[in-house]
A and B are shown apart, each in its own frame.
Chain A
Amino acid sequence: MTETIHEILSAHRFLSGLPEGTVEVLAECARAETFESGRLLLHEGDVADTFHLIHPVRVSIEIHGPGHGRHILDSVGPGLTVGLSWAAPPFRCQFDARSLEPEVAVAVDSECLRARLGENPALGYALLERLASVLIGRLQVARVRLLDLYGNDSDR
């Protein structure tokens, strides 16, 4: 199983170009998880202790509300990362993450990861810079979506 995780991580887009040894450090903290279609990887309100690298399918980011059912806020993937709340306090999932197709994900224990990155600051900086670029990208996209560009002018 460790071989499979290693293979997934070595080929994973998120990690491409990162320093030598990144894959090994992540693999030490990782386990494989399988999800059926429609299952939640993350629940809003849970402790955010896992950083998922998904492969190869999409995950939807959702939030539930009474009467509205599930709002689908965003989709991630294929082949990207799910989970940002593990990276900073209060370490709590803000949204649900749902697998849209059956998949295998590499789930990295974030406490283990933070400890390893503490021992290896250069690697830590590179990984967090990569994470920041994911964050910046998603925030920019969210802001532009707020414009509701395809809606009627009278609604704005």
Chain B
Amino acid sequence: MDVGDIAVLEREGLDLLIGTLRSMGFRTIGPVVRDGAIVHGPVSGAQDLPAGWHDHQEPGRYRLEQDESPELFGWAVGPASWKSEFFAPEETLWRASITAQQVTLSEPDAATGPAAIIGARPCEVSALAVLDRVLMGGAHPDDRYAARRDGAFVVAVECGAPASTCFCPSMGTGPSARGAFDLALTELVDGGHRFHVQVGTEAGAAVMAQVPHRATEESDRSARQDVLEDAEARMGRTLDTADLPGLLARNLEHPRWEEVAERCLSCGNCTLVCPTCFCSDVSDVSDVSGTVERQRRWASCFDLDHSYLHGGPVRPTTASRYRQWLTHKLSTWWDQFDESGCVGCGRCLTWCPVGIDLTEEAAAIRAADGAVATRERRAS
């Protein structure tokens, strides 16, 4: 098989695909149901995938329910993103032992064996590309992230059941798979439970060559088109991205920031579930034996101390912190990394306890472009 080829995998073929990846030494991880949500865990076969599960998402709301339908991927996204597989939520960067005679520094191994992701949504594939640019595309790449990304195998699964909070078409990230996937599957049920497969890379081609598959027929290809067109039509909302970076950049004093701050709890849930948020805190710890460690853990720009400088935070108000998050995600990310930081996955809407919807916030600012929260001038 070659890059760009398409094929059909029968339902049983998915088990064989996962088994092949395992036999090649990959840790196969994919979506599993746990604690009332679809999260990530080890999958040894299709039986571990969320068969018959469907999610209902709205700003501030997430519910799972299961029925008799055979779909393994009849849901959108869960709170976990693939960020945590490659950008560790917590890790030790280096250890140094300090004695009277010497300082010896060592770095723990970053990689834990190559990972094969079974079921990354197109928005998530885009999100990994965004993270790659942030963490590997600069003058000082994060070698720990790079070590984990290197050799990872990505099986994308196109969306057939978007949630009401999804808006990937607005961001150009879905519902069809694009970018750096090794294989992209589309689950088809009518006319036989099977998967339309796109080969994205040489590595993907090599794996597919080992898994029984057949050529596509017109019915397979048009069934896939139907799934994608249907998904796009059912997409939950849109984000108007026309001059969005400029719109936010010129509305830093907009009254909407204070308005959203009355609702925002500054809890940071959005940054936790966002597949592209990358802020981290670095701290050094030591013990009495003279060993010191530098640790890094996920942080959030909603933390009050995130911007601490000269005795206090630069952004002491919720309004200033919400503004920082939204303008970074949709505006200054362009200045810093030449693309948008948002992939339209909708997680920040679903997992916000008060249901703040950034598509609505951006629209409100656009509707009153130029409004300023300052004095009201009355004609004399």
Check if B310 sits within 8 Å of A33, measured CB to CB.
no
Check if A5 sits within 8 Å of B380, measured CB to CB.
yes
User: What separation, in Å, do the CA atoms of A31 and B379 have in the docked complex?
Assistant: 6
Q: With A35-B375, A41-B375 known to touch, is A68 a contact of B380 (CB < 8 Å)? A: no
Interface residues as binary, A26-47 with B (CB distance below 8 Å gives 1, 0 otherwise): 0000111111100111010000
Check if B380 sits within 8 Å of A30, measured CB to CB.
yes
Check if B379 sits within 8 Å of A67, measured CB to CB.
no
User: At the interface, yes or no: B308 with Cβ under 8 Å from chain A?
Assistant: yes
Interface residues of B in 304-329 (CB under 8 A from A): 307-314, 316
Nearest Cβ in chain A — how far from B213, in angstroms? 59
User: At the interface, yes or no: B377 with Cβ under 8 Å from chain A?
Assistant: yes
Residues of chain B within 8 A of A36, CB atoms compared: 376
User: What separation, in Å, do the CA atoms of A149 and B379 have in the docked complex?
Assistant: 46
User: At the interface, yes or no: B222 with Cβ under 8 Å from chain A?
Assistant: no
Residues of chain A within 8 A of B377, CB atoms compared: 31, 33
User: What separation, in Å, do the CA atoms of A51 and B129 have in the docked complex?
Assistant: 54
Interface residues of B in 347-380 (CB under 8 A from A): 373-380
User: What separation, in Å, do the CA atoms of A25 and B311 have in the docked complex?
Assistant: 48
User: What separation, in Å, do the CA atoms of A35 and B378 have in the docked complex?
Assistant: 10
User: What separation, in Å, do the CA atoms of A142 and B375 have in the docked complex?
Assistant: 28
Among B309, B312, B375, B380, point to the contact of A1 (Cβ < 8 A): B380
User: At the interface, yes or no: A69 with Cβ under 8 Å from chain B?
Assistant: yes
Residues of chain B within 8 A of A66, CB atoms compared: 307, 309-310, 314
Residue on B with the closest CB to A39? B375
Q: With A66-B314, A68-B312 known to touch, is A32 a contact of B375 (CB < 8 Å)? A: no
User: What separation, in Å, do the CA atoms of A67 and B320 have in the docked complex?
Assistant: 13
Interface residues of B in 125-149 (CB under 8 A from A): none
Check if A69 sits within 8 Å of B312, measured CB to CB.
yes
User: What separation, in Å, do the CA atoms of A84 and B380 have in the docked complex?
Assistant: 23
Residues of chain B within 8 A of A34, CB atoms compared: 375-376, 378
User: At the interface, yes or no: A120 with Cβ under 8 Å from chain B?
Assistant: no
The interface residues of chain B, by DSSP majority, are classed as: loop
Check if A32 sits within 8 Å of B380, measured CB to CB.
yes
Residues of chain A within 8 A of B312, CB atoms compared: 67-69
Q: With A39-B374, A40-B374 known to touch, is A68 a contact of B379 (CB < 8 Å)? A: no
Check if A68 sits within 8 Å of B378, measured CB to CB.
no
User: What separation, in Å, do the CA atoms of A30 and B310 have in the docked complex?
Assistant: 42
Check if B375 sits within 8 Å of A68, measured CB to CB.
no
Check if B310 sits within 8 Å of A31, measured CB to CB.
no
Residues of chain B within 8 A of A69, CB atoms compared: 312, 316
Check if A40 sits within 8 Å of B314, measured CB to CB.
no
Check if B375 sits within 8 Å of A40, measured CB to CB.
yes
Check if B309 sits within 8 Å of A67, measured CB to CB.
yes
Among B311, B374, B375, B376, point to the contact of A67 (Cβ < 8 A): B311
Residue on B with the closest CB to A5? B380
Residues of chain B within 8 A of A16, CB atoms compared: none
Interface residues as binary, B10-39 with A (CB distance below 8 Å gives 1, 0 otherwise): 000000000000000000000000000000
User: What separation, in Å, do the CA atoms of A78 and B322 have in the docked complex?
Assistant: 35
Residues of chain B within 8 A of A1, CB atoms compared: 378-380
Nearest Cβ in chain B — how far from A136, in angstroms? 29
Interface residues of A in 42-71 (CB under 8 A from B): 43, 65-69
Residues of chain A within 8 A of B379, CB atoms compared: 1, 31
Most A-side CB within 10 Å, residue of B307, B308, B375: B375
Check if B309 sits within 8 Å of A32, measured CB to CB.
no
Check if B310 sits within 8 Å of A68, measured CB to CB.
yes
Residues of chain A within 8 A of B378, CB atoms compared: 1, 31-34
User: What separation, in Å, do the CA atoms of A35 and B379 have in the docked complex?
Assistant: 14
A binding-site residues for B, Cβ under 8 Å: 1-2, 5, 30-36, 39-41, 43, 65-69
Which 6 interchain pairs have the tightest Cβ spacing? A67-B309, A67-B310, A31-B380, A66-B314, A1-B380, A67-B312
Show 28 residue pairs from A and B whose CB-CB distance is below 8 angstroms, ordered by the A residue. A1-B379, A1-B380, A5-B380, A30-B380, A31-B379, A32-B380, A33-B377, A33-B378, A34-B376, A34-B378, A35-B375, A36-B376, A39-B374, A39-B375, A41-B375, A43-B374, A65-B310, A66-B309, A66-B310, A66-B314, A67-B308, A67-B309, A67-B310, A67-B312, A67-B314, A68-B311, A68-B312, A69-B312
